[in-house]
Amino acid sequence: MEEEWYNQVVLLKPGLQNLLNHITGQLSPEVRYAIQQSGIGFIYDDRPFPLKTPVANLDSHQITIQDIHLAFLWTCCYATVAINSMYYEKAALNEDIIYFSDRPEFAQVLLTMKWARSLQKEVTWWPAEAARPDVSNKWTTSAANLFEACVAYLLFHEIGHIILHRDLRELMTSRKKNPFYETSQEEFKKIYDAELEADQFALDSLMGSSVIEEVRLMKYLGAMVAQLSNFYLLDVPDTRGGLTHPDLDDRLRTVLQQSKLTEEANQIQLRSQLVVGLQLFLWLTETPFIPEDPQQAVFSNFEELEKYLFDLIAKMKNAARL
């Protein structure tokens, strides 16, 4: 008898649902009423189909979430936690350039990410030798917490579309039903602006009235990894969003610019995980990012490294336009 398909990420769904309920309860009465009146429902698609990101149906007000995509997001969160932890451990050695090739955990992270990225084309069993949510280690608890914030951000993005963009329902239906539909420049702008609005709604909803600094840090990290997860789906370092979506690097930068953390240690933590994420993206797309000149490879703080990486991504993005 063939073994039934099973995705280990189902273990994390109760925590995710609890967080969504908690966040919704902290929203303003007006937003809570709009969500309740919209009759929004979640469909968890547990079928072993190739990866697709969450999508909101503006007609039925249903948001479909794949277990496969949730598995991918968990690996992104695990990689973020694990690599950043190794980064800090290596940084304590006071080396100019940090390599992880001597860490067996790093090989496991890369194997896990490689498998997760392959889910776009073919669905396979979660590898036993990969990092997994059902096998505890020193990073799985932090990865689960980050995962909840990451998924919540993405789902509130889709909720934002439903309650804010009813006027786009007819346009989106026409585009979906008619492959030859000619979208006007004005319509493209409406869709583009709707994506910006949904991003803002997601971040505002996720943060809510949170005042505890560590909670705010985790939520900002969740929004950041949610944006970075779209980077990790790319095979080439071209972060352009096209006519309907803002560029990926611009969306990520917006999250960072709106972060409000009072403690310097938490500000550094947020930026350190950002630059680790950007470097992981460049590594996954086989893009050289370490300057050949050793003098140019020395950065006095994370802000300098962040600027260097964003500038590098911008150059490649602009080159792709030519």
Residue with tokens 């993405």: 154
- The pLDDT, as a whole number, for residue 102 is 85
**Cα separation of the two ends of the chain:** 55
Edge-to-edge strand order for the sheet containing 62-66?
A: 41-45, 62-66, 55-56
- pTM for the structure as a whole: 0.94
State how far the Cα of 97 lies from the Cα of 164, in Å rounded to an integer.
46
Q: What share of the chain is helix, strand, coil (3-state, %, to 5)?
A: 65, 5, 35
Provide the greatest CA pair distance for the chain. 62
Instruction: Count the neighbouring beta carbons within 10 Å of the beta carbon of residue 122.
Output: 9
* Confidence at residue 138, expressed as pLDDT on a 0 to 100 scale: 95
Q: For residue 91, count other CB atoms closer than 10 A to its CB.
A: 11
In the numeric block, the tokens 């950007």 are attached to 278
pLDDT at site 1: 42
pLDDT of residue 97: 63
Q: Taking the domains of the chain in order of start, what are their residue ranges?
A: 8-321
Q: Which residue has the tokens 């493209």?
A: 188
Measured CA to CA in angstroms, residue 274 lies from 53, 200, 271 at distances of 22, 19, 5
Q: Residue 95 has what pLDDT? A: 67
Report the pLDDT value the prediction gives residue 88, as an integer from 0 to 100. Answer: 86
Which stretches of the chain drop beneath a pLDDT of 70?
Answer: 1-3, 95-97, 294
Structure tokens at 160: 């934002």
b/e 238-268 (16+ beta carbons within 10 angstroms → b): ebbbeeebbbbbbbbbbbbeebebeeeebbe
Residue positions counted in the chain = 322
pLDDT at 211: 93
Determine the Cα–Cα distance for residues 79 and 109; give it in Å rounded to an integer.
6
Shortest CA distance to 145 belongs to which of 29, 225, 202, 199?
225
DSSP letters, 113-151, are HHHHHHTTT---PPPTTS--TTS--TTHHHHHHHHHHHH
* Those residues with Cβ within 8 angstroms of residue 154's Cβ, 6 or more apart along the chain or in another chain: 53, 54, 73, 202, 226
